[in-house]
Amino acid sequence: MGRLAPPWDRLLLDARLATLRDDLGAYGAIEDGALAWKDGLIAFAGPARELPGEPAALAARVESAGHRWITPGLVDCHTHLVFGGDRAQEFERRLQGASYEQIAREGGGILSSVRATRAADEQALLAASLPRARALLADGVTTLEIKSGYGLDFETERRMLRVARRVGETLGITVRTTCLAAHALPPEFAGRPDDYIAATIEWLPRLQQEGLVDAVDAFCEGIGFTPAQTRRLFEAATALGLPVKLHADQLSDLGGAALVAGFSGLSADHIEWTGEDAVRAMAAAGTVAVLLPGAFHVLRETKLPPIDALRANAVPMAVATDLNPGTAPLQSLRLAMSLACTHFRLTPEEALRGATHHGALALGLHDRGRLVPGQRADFVQWRIGHPAELAYWLGGELVHAVHVAGRRVQ
C-alpha cells in the first residue's frame, strides 16, 4: 500500500511502533517512529527519518507520542456479548463437579441464557451489553464481533442483532454481527432439530434484508447440531452470499473444522479436538483458527488445540475472548492473550497478531490489524515498555488512548 500524500490530518512523532509488518523482524517494531493519518486511514507508519519533509509542513497537527508503544487496535473476533442475566450459579456448580454437558442437558447452560434474554426488551439488553463492550474498548478493542444465539426464535434473535448494531453506533467502534441461531435447540422444538434448522434457514433472508447479519455461525457438537444439519444451514447461507464460521470441535471431533473449511469459511473456532487433516483443509481454504482460551480456562479443559500443526501449516491463529455468560465471562482481550500464552504456549507476539491482524482476517476484514499506510487508522497508545507486556500483565490499565479511523474514542 502506498503512502497517502500530505497534507495529513495529524502526525505523531516520538512513537514506538509495533507495526506487525512481516519484513521488520519481531513485532514489526520501529523504535524511533512516526504515525500519520488522513481521512481515517494511515498515511505514514515508519521511521521518523523517512518522513518526506519537515513535520510542521506535513500535517495540520503535529504531536509527540511521548515514546509510547503504538499497536493496531485490538480485534475481538468472537463474542456473545449481548445477553440477559448471568450464570454465576452454574460456575459454582462446575466447581463442585458438574460438567458443562451435564448442566446443558438439565436445561441450564445456553437455555438458561435464552430464558433471560427472551424476557429482556431491546433497551434492557442494550443497557446490559454496553458496559461489557465499554470494558473491551477500555482494554484496546476497536473492532468487535457479536453473535446472536440466546434468542432461538426469530424476534429475539433479531432483537439481539439490533442491539449489537446499536452497541457499535453508541461507542463509535466497528461491530460485526453474526447470526448464531443454530446455537442450541429451543424447548418448543424439542426432539425436532431438523425442523428448527429449517426455521433458522427461513429467518436468514429476513435478517439479511434488514442489514442485521454479516456472517452465519453454528454450534456443531454432540449437544448442539450435527454436521449434516450444519451443512444445510451453511448451504443456505452461502446461497445468500453470507460468509460462514463455526464453533468446531470444542468437546469432540465431529469434523467441524474440515466442514467449515469446505465452505471456505472465515474461521473455525475452539478446535481443541481438530485433527491434522482438518488443519490442512483450513490452510488450503484460508480459514482462520480462532483460539478461545477463556472457555478452556473456565471449563478446566485439558485437550489443547493443535497449535504445532497450525504453525506447521501456516494457519493464521486469532485470539478472542468468547465473552459469554456461561463458559467465558471474560471482558478483557488482553487477558485472553495472556491465557493463550499460558495455556496454549503462544508467544506474546503470536498472541498480539492473533488479537489484531489475524482477528481481523477471521471477520473477513482486510483493512485493519497492522500499522500500514492505507489501512484504517485504528490504533492504541499503551503505557508499556515492550509489546510483550500486553500479554504479561494480568489486568491493570495499560491504555493511554484508543483511536478508531483516526478519531479518539477512549
Cell readout for 293 is 482460551
Burial of 340-376, coded b for 16+ CB within 10 Å and e otherwise, reads: bbebbebebbbbbbbbbbbbbbbbebeebbbbbbebb
Residue 212 CA neighbour count, 13 Å, CB half = 24
Under DSSP, is residue 72 helix (H, G, I), strand (E, B) or coil? strand
Cβ 34 vs Cβ 46: under 8 Å:
yes
How does strand 399-404 pair with strand 407-408?
antiparallel
Residue 178: which H helix or E strand, with range? Answer: strand 174-182
Whether the Cβ atoms of residue 368 and residue 375 lie closer than 8 Å to each other? yes
Q: How many Å apart are CA 195 and CA 188, to the nearest integer?
A: 11
In this structure, what DSSP letter does residue 59 have? B
Question: Is 14 part of any known ligand binding site?
Answer: no
Task: From residue 35, give the alpha-carbon distance in Å to each of 54, 225, 349.
Answer: 14, 47, 21
- Assign 168 to helix, strand or coil: helix
Please check if 358 is assigned to a binding site: no
Q: Is 67 annotated as a binding residue?
A: no
* Residue with the three cell numbers 490489524: 369
> How far, in Å, CA of 381 to CA of 399, rounded?
6
Question: Is 78 annotated in some ligand binding site?
Answer: yes
Q: What angle do CA 383, 385, 387 make, to 5 degrees?
A: 90
183 among annotated binding-site residues = yes
Q: Are 146 and 177 in contact (CB under 8 A)?
A: yes
Cα–Cα nearest to 375, from 16, 21, 28, 43 = 43
- The helix (run of H) or strand (run of E) holding residue 32 is strand 29-38
Q: Is 143 assigned to a binding site?
A: no
Residue 153 is assigned to a ligand binding site? no
* Cα 152 from Cα 149, distance rounded (Å): 6
* Amino acid residing at 351: A
Does 250 appear as a known binding residue? yes
Is the bond into 373 cis (omega within 30 degrees of 0)? no
Distance CA 125, CA 229 (A): 30
Whether residue 100 is annotated as binding a ligand: the answer is no
Which positions make up the binding site for 4-imidazolone-5-propanoate?
87, 150, 183, 250, 327
Which positions make up the binding site for N-formimidoyl-L-glutamate?
150, 324, 326
Which positions make up the binding site?
78, 80, 87, 150, 183, 247, 250, 322, 324, 326-327
Which positions make up the binding site for Zn(2+)?
78, 80, 247, 322
Which positions make up the binding site for Fe(3+)?
78, 80, 247, 322
